[in-house]
Structure 1
């Protein structure tokens, strides 16, 4: 969704309605192009200025899917946390020393277990669960 409105209710309604992302019209050509590419690849992109508020709201309103995070393997949690931190697949490969194919396999499994449609929902589930606030280790 591309709009001039950065209202929290618009963002929530668009994402709950199945939008692959939410960008403000003044985001600039590069970000708008990246948003279209992300949607075409099955990924999602949220305007950076909206992301932190979105995640804070999601963290403060737990859902039943939050408990699904507990069913992730240790490696899936590592991958999901990196997604929630905004890392790309390539950055995840480099940080965890795994192949791109392995990252994609983990992401597919994570999406299924968390009932998430895209990376944004994976990130939201991770923040909702409280996992992102726990120390690593």
Structure 2
């Protein structure tokens, strides 16, 4: 039997959720709370499998209650049932430990399915959130910006050698280039970046993180 706690400050909402859950043969409501603090207490006392909770409740906000439940009753899956659908609220709830997020107005079958899925260890989000989360998490991570983006990869490698204090022949030996090729590239780098001297190039490149070499 899957044990459920319901947390919402509206008695009619709690009554409706209890009726939906009591109509099943595998879900049982073991407690109701009308504020965030009592929601946490019930989860600590009863260790339910799932808590269905609103966010906007008196006293302790639902986000804070979710975080406390995640810490004090980690085996209880938190499923948020709320009217708030903005991205910041969804992210805050998930960051606090919620494994599910449904909007009020979801039909009884969806709520029952969400509770069962959460009890089984699955993340549960309404259809509107599923599509948005695919967009959120499907974005390619931004690549860190390389220093001196106007340089070619080869020029950046040579500037890295310059920043490390290497001579042109030493840089050439590292990169399998002739000293003359390195010298030509150094001149091109100074011109591109409008550095007055090799000394300025060393200082500016080191400030940008170039020139570091492993010790040993």
TM-score when scaled to structure 2? 0.29
Tell me: higher relative CO, structure 1 or 2? Use CA pairs within 8 A at least 6 residues apart.
1
TM-score when scaled to structure 1? 0.44
More helix by share: 1
More strand by share: 2
Tell me which structure has the larger Cα radius of gyration: 2
